[in-house]
Amino acid sequence: EVQLVESGGGLVKPGGSLRLSCAASGFTFSSYSMNWVRQAPGKGLEWVSSISSSSSYIYYADSVKGRFTISRDNAKNSLYLQMNSLRAEDTAVYYCARSEGDYHSNWFDPWGQGTLVTVSS
């Protein structure tokens, strides 16, 4: 069964740091691009960051650029998101998701269950 399991969420003070992890199983992790998508309480989905299969290509949303770092360890079938200088507006459920497709068509499947990050003093 293809599965993604996030961990590492929690309560952190503004300006603090947190590292999220996503453990993948049931597929060849090293063959796929991976992504982080977040959802603030009661709000819609927001793409956060993507990393290609070999880490050659990395992209960030403007809202997190310079503060968040995406990485992966293909030997450990794991995806990470290092979040620094956290702000209240980063409070959200963070999902990891596998992406597939080609130039004209991309999709996210599957998604993990999400991990909640709360930034509050």
Partner 1 sequence: SSELTQDPAVSVALGQTVRITCQGDSLRSYYASWYQQKPGQAPVLVIYGKNNRPSGIPDRFSGSSSGNTASLTITGAQAEDEADYYCNSRDSSGNHLYVFGTGTKVTVL
Residues that bind partner 1 (CB under 8 A): 35, 37, 44-47, 50, 59, 61-62, 95, 101, 104-114
- Whether residue 15 contacts residue 37, with contact meaning beta carbons closer than 8 Å, is answered with no
Q: How far is the CB of 75 from partner 1 (least distance, A)?
A: 25
Query: In the 8-state DSSP scheme, what is residue 65?
Result: T
Residue among 66 and 107 whose Cβ is closer to partner 1: 107
Residue among 75 and 102 whose Cβ is closer to partner 1: 102
Residue among 5 and 84 whose Cβ is closer to partner 1: 5
- Whether residue 95 contacts residue 111, with contact meaning beta carbons closer than 8 Å, is answered with yes
Residue among 14 and 113 whose Cβ is closer to partner 1: 113
* Residue of 83, 76, 78, 77 whose CA lies nearest to 48: 83
Q: Which residue has the tokens 């080609």?
A: 102
As a whole number of angstroms, the distance between CA 96 and CA 113 comes to 8
What is the distance, to the nearest Å, from the Cα of residue 66 to the centroid of all Cα atoms in its chain? 15
Q: How far is the CB of 13 from partner 1 (least distance, A)?
A: 26
